[in-house]
Amino acid sequence: MRQQNKKVSFKEVFIVITKNDQLMWLALAYIAYAIANVATTGVLLLFYKFVLGRVGEFWFVGLIATITGLIAVPMFPFLAKTFSRRYVYLSGLIMNILAYAIFMFAGQNLLMVQIATVLFYFPQQWIFLSALMTITDSVEYGQLKNGIRNEAVTLSLRPLMDKIAGALSNGIVGFIAVAAGMSGNASVNTITQHDIHTFNLFAFALPGLLMTFSGIVFFWKVHLFEKEHAQVVTELESKLTIQQQEV
């Protein structure tokens, strides 16, 4: 099933991506999440410095990102087997959106900000692994649907989307910093309530909408999960067996 007997042309590479509807829908959902994620992670330092006024506490963000990653990754196989990747991905987005709400209303309450930080970073690996495994499964789905198998092209889509989001990160951070008056000689004492509202809009509210969009697309359009992939593999093996017998 994994055998590729010929080199794939550029035209066929294009078909591998664009004719695989599950891959395309997942890419749309994931790029929306990735852009929202980098938009927030890139400006959290500004939040701690200019809104919370506790830049010395920013070390907590790095600590939480490390600890939550170490905890969340081993949990993923159990959660995916018990609830399906679909609900693991959606649960992660819900936690992120809840974190945004807490960030926006926490003000200078350090405890609330730390809770929001945990909720924001904890599900990141769940979302990443859910997307990665679904992209991996789309290799067989595309092979069954289009008759063309190309693991390299299919699996390169996820890092490509991360690189696109990362490339946008500096521009997003710069835009938010300027729009919210958090550049140059600005300090926590010069930031107005209007500046904070502007910051919350671009750092939390709009990314929250992007994650909501990601969740809607993932829930309604992505259907390639554990049971569906098993069925795809069965159909593909049967199809290839018939083709071999005919040859």
Residue 2 forms part of a structural domain = no
pLDDT (mean) for 132-160: 86
CA dihedral sign, ordered 158, 220, 21, 238: positive
* pLDDT, mean over the chain: 89
DSSP string across 86-140: HHHHHHHHHHHHHHHHHHHHHTT-HHHHHHHHHHHHTTHHHHHHHHHHHHHHHHH
Q: What is the mean pLDDT of residues 41-70?
A: 92
Measured in degrees and rounded to the nearest 5, phi and psi for residue 93 equal -65, -40
pLDDT at 232 over 60: yes
Backbone angles phi, psi at 113, to 5 degrees: -65, -40
Tens digits of residue pLDDT in 59-90:
999 999 999 999 999 999 999 999 999 999 99
Question: What length is written for the chain?
Answer: 247
Whether 2 shows a pLDDT value over 70: the answer reads no
Most confident of 17-21, 66-70, 164-168: 66-70
Among 210, 208, 202, 215, which residue's Cα sits nearest to residue 101?
A: 208
Domain tally, the chain: 1
Question: What whole-number distance in Å separates Cα of residue 55 and Cα of residue 192?
Answer: 18
Nearest to 145 by CA among 24, 242, 21, 230: 21
> What are the tens digits of pLDDT across the range 169-226?
889 999 999 999 998 888 888 999 999 999 999 999 999 999 999 999 999 999 998 8
Paired tokens of 44:
């959290």
Is residue 165 within 8 A of residue 31, CB to CB? The reply is yes
CATH number of 213's domain: 1.20.1250.20
Q: So what's the pLDDT on residue 11?
A: 65
Is residue 3 one of the residues assigned to a domain? Answer: no
Domain span at residue 125 reads 10-246
Query: Is the per-residue pLDDT at 3 higher than 70?
Result: no
- pLDDT of 26 above 80: yes
Residue 131 has a pLDDT of 94
Residue 81 neighbours by CB under 8 Å, 6+ apart: 226
Residue 183: inside a domain: yes
Q: Which tokens sit at 178?
A: 């300027």
Percent of the chain with pLDDT over 70: 93
d(CA 150, CA 5): 11
d(CA 150, CA 152): 6
Domain membership of residue 188 (yes or no) is: yes
Beta carbons of 39 and 205 less than 8 angstroms apart: no
Q: Cα–Cα distance between 53 and 57 in angstroms, integer? A: 9
Q: Is the pLDDT of residue 236 over 80?
A: yes
Q: What is the model's pLDDT at position 9?
A: 64
How far, in Å, CA of 28 to CA of 213, rounded? 9
Nearest Cα neighbor of 84 from 232, 224, 234 is: 224
Distance (Å, whole) CA 176 – CA 172? 6
In this structure, is residue 5 part of a structural domain?
Answer: no
- Asked if residues 240 and 1 have their Cβ atoms less than 8 Å apart, the reply is yes
